[in-house]
Amino acid sequence: MNRTVTVLIIALCLVTGCIDGGDDNGNGNGGKGNKEPVAFVINGIEVTEVLYILQDIDLGEIHNSRYDLVIMDYSAEGNEDTEFSDDEIGLISEMRVILAYMSIGEAEDYRFYWNTSWDADQDGTPDQGAPSWLDGENPRWDGNYKVRYWMEGWQQLIVGPNGYLERVLDAGFHGVYLDLVDAYEHYDENRSTARAEMIDLVGRIADEARTADPDFLIVPQNGEALGVNSTYQETVDGIGREEIFYLEGSPNPDTASIRADLDRFLQRSGFVIDIEYVDRDLRTAAREKARDAGYLQFVGDVDLSGIPD
């Protein structure tokens, strides 16, 4: 984790040892009977409740909510015209940690940097004249395009003048929540440097941000295998991981290996946020699993629209 940021673990489950045991599907033993919530002090704020919201963002509802860590888009509609101001973020940031969502492994066709000529026919393949860093559309997410994230053209859109990071900093966010960090997996087979280049990009974002704000938080989503790299561990403050315990409504068969990678972050005084997309009948069980593992958690729908009921 970043040594200029104080992150103190006060998770009582970790102290009492309730994360010991459990099966390969992440079923903790819970034998201690400890029902205390997992809590971390992050930049001086005690965090127990996490909100992850990318659509239908209502700042008034967030202000009145119980959540003390909020992951949200930096813009109401994701575009330049509806970017939140410093005053608006200030309304919800008192006694809360506010992280701005930022995709660094894919380009999104509604962002400020997008040029419609890059895929004018919208067939998912960049047109002639599109930047060399732009790759094909993600077949699972319309309007999201893979990027060759190691190329300077893409990185300038993230950390350059009037880029993504500058807009986030200007709006007064406390940090960034970096999505598609695991995009290196798309290139790993044919590019031996793919992992190292993603680590370098995350490090560049951190260096640029902390020049302006030494306490700025860097929290990647997924890509937990990068935690074997000590430089990466020193750079990030925690990690979010989707679907640790449940995958499409069923127990995730990879829970044990995922948790082994995530343990590296806990051991370095970082925090882990479990993101589970499950129906209501599984939400209580999902919350118990995260608590027993010593993780913060968000449970909701995959569209991340509005505040969950």
Q: Are strands 40-42 and 45-47 parallel, antiparallel or unpaired?
A: antiparallel
**What is the predicted pLDDT for the residue at 269?**
81
Matching CATH number, 7-105+149-300, of 2.40.50.140, 3.20.20.70, 1.20.59.10, 3.50.50.60: 3.20.20.70
Mean pLDDT of the region 39-48 = 97
| Confidence (pTM) | 0.90
Phi and psi at residue 136, to the nearest 5°: -70, 165
**Once rounded to an integer, what is the mean pLDDT over residues 16-23?**
39
Question: Tell me, what DSSP letter sits at residue 118?
Answer: G
Q: Are 119 and 127 in contact (CB under 8 A)?
A: yes
Q: So where are the chain's domains? A: 7-105+149-300
Cα distance between residue 41 and residue 104, in whole Å: 27
CB atoms within 10 A of CB 218: 25
Q: Looking at the predicted structure, is the pLDDT value of residue 4 above 70?
A: no
Q: Which of 201, 200, 183, 184 is closest to 192 using CA atoms?
A: 184
Angstrom distance (rounded) from CA 256 to CA 245: 9
Instruction: Please report, for residues 76, 111, 199, 239, 284, the alpha-carbon distance to residue 300 in angstroms, rounded to integers and kept in the order given.
Output: 19, 25, 29, 18, 12
Of 28-42, 50-64, 85-99, the one with minimum mean pLDDT is 28-42
What is the helix (H) or strand (E) element at residue 307, kind and residue range?
none
Query: Is the per-residue pLDDT at 5 higher than 50?
Result: no
Tens of pLDDT, residues 167-198? 999 999 999 999 999 999 999 999 999 999 99
Residue closest to 167 by CA, chosen among 245, 270, 289, 78: 78
Decide: 34 and 16 in contact? Cβ < 8 Å: yes
The pLDDT of residue 13 is above 70: no
Burial of 51 (0-12, 13-18, 19+ CB in 10 A): buried
Rg (CA), the chain: 19
Q: Are 244 and 265 in contact (CB under 8 A)?
A: no
Distances (CA, A) of 113 to 107, 134, 145, 195, 285: 9, 12, 13, 25, 41
Whether pLDDT at 33 is above 80? no
Tally of CB atoms within 10 A around 141: 10
Is pLDDT at 1 greater than 60 in this prediction?
no
